[in-house]
Structure 1
Amino acid sequence: MSVVGGIAEVRRRHLAALAREVEARGLAWRLSGPEESLLAVYGPLTRRRLMVVATPVGDGWSYLWPGGGMADVAEAAAAADQLTRLLT
């Protein structure tokens, strides 16, 4: 596995973890972009949506979304709570 392939796999794993958390809170989601590198999250009732990326930051990984949103991937539940507030 190449380094790039490894990064893509880690990114998808982090996005999948966040997807499970937002789905548990009633939001809809889908992976999109090249190599499923983005998580599209939707508020089913409000029809609001946003895109989330997972990116290496320092020694770890973080989720980033529009409006300056940022959370460590180790805190996927807290990130999902923030996204739920934005989209509901």
Structure 2
Amino acid sequence: MSTENERRALLETLAERLPERGLQGRMLGGAEPVLWIWHPRTSRQTIVLATQSGGGWLFLWSPDGQENADDPEVAADTLEKLLSQAA
């Protein structure tokens, strides 16, 4: 699988876990996709990147967010906590 295809597959897997946590997401970009995630109630949002690191992949987002892409459930839970907080 190419790097671009693997990146897209990881982000799509994360995106599938968002609705059950009250979050919404949309894939953006072409060859190097990113995932735009927002919380409809708080209007908080972030962009998630998938990048190679060592022998695996990481999800990265602002501010200072990072989770191993091997466990999208943990990443989705962390993003829910971040975006559920009132601004």
TM-score, normalised via structure 2 length: 0.90
**More moved, 17-26 vs 55-64:** 17-26
CA distance in 1, matches of 2:34, 2:7: 9
SS across alignment from 2:51: strand
What's the % identity of the aligned pairs? 37
- Residue ranges of structure 1 left out of the alignment (5+ in a row): none
Name the counterpart of 2:43.
47
Residue 14 of structure 1 deviates from its aligned partner by 0.2
- Residue ranges of structure 2 left out of the alignment (5+ in a row): none
> After the TM superposition, which parts of structure 1 deviate over 3 Å for at least 4 consecutive aligned residues?
none
Q: What pairs up with 1:9-28 in 2 under 5 angstroms?
A: 9-28=5-24
User: Would you say 1:74 and 2:55 are equivalent positions?
Assistant: no
Name the counterpart of 2:59.
63
Name the counterpart of 2:28.
32
CA distance in 1, matches of 2:12, 2:20: 12
